[in-house]
Amino acid sequence: MKKTSAILMVAVLALAFVVGCGQKNDQAATSADVQPTITYFGSLKATDSEDCFAVFRNEDGDLVYLFKFDGSLDYGIPTESTGTATTNQGHEYTTVKLGETYGYYFTNDDATEGYLVDKDGNEIAAKELGEDGARALVDETL
């Protein structure tokens, strides 16, 4: 089920990127096509693992999120509006529903420190991944 969901998400995101690039829907998207069409908004990487998150805006104005937990990458345009929830530790965070519901929150004004929130509501301390690292996540999707 999770593999099918991941395959479907790949297809949906690739289509969204292709449409955002103004290319025909039947052409395969490549990283070189996609990268110039998205604007970096922010990212975090866990301080003690490879877990990470990034957010971009595509040419249509949609936010595109990428969450990587335990080596599995889930990404796309949220299936419903982002919202807020409370972590198991009692902190409010932004929720993003993709294949699962994930989240994040920043703890400083320049958005370089914060927490990732896994699908179970657990906080994971994180620091900024940076634009290069975030764009490397996009490369993994195509």
The per-residue pLDDT for range 56-86, each reduced to its tens digit, is 999 999 999 999 999 999 999 998 889 999 9
**15 pLDDT tier (thresholds 50, 70, 90):** very low
The HSE-up count of residue 67 (CA atoms within 13 Å, CB side) is 23
Residue with structure tokens 């069409």?
37
- Looking at per-residue confidence, does 15 or 44 come out higher? 44
Global pTM reads 0.77
Residue 13 host element (H or E): helix 2-21
Residue 94 tokens read as 């932004």
Residue 67 tokens read as 């969450």
Cβ(16)–Cβ(22) below 8 Å: no
- Looking at per-residue confidence, does 123 or 31 come out higher? 123
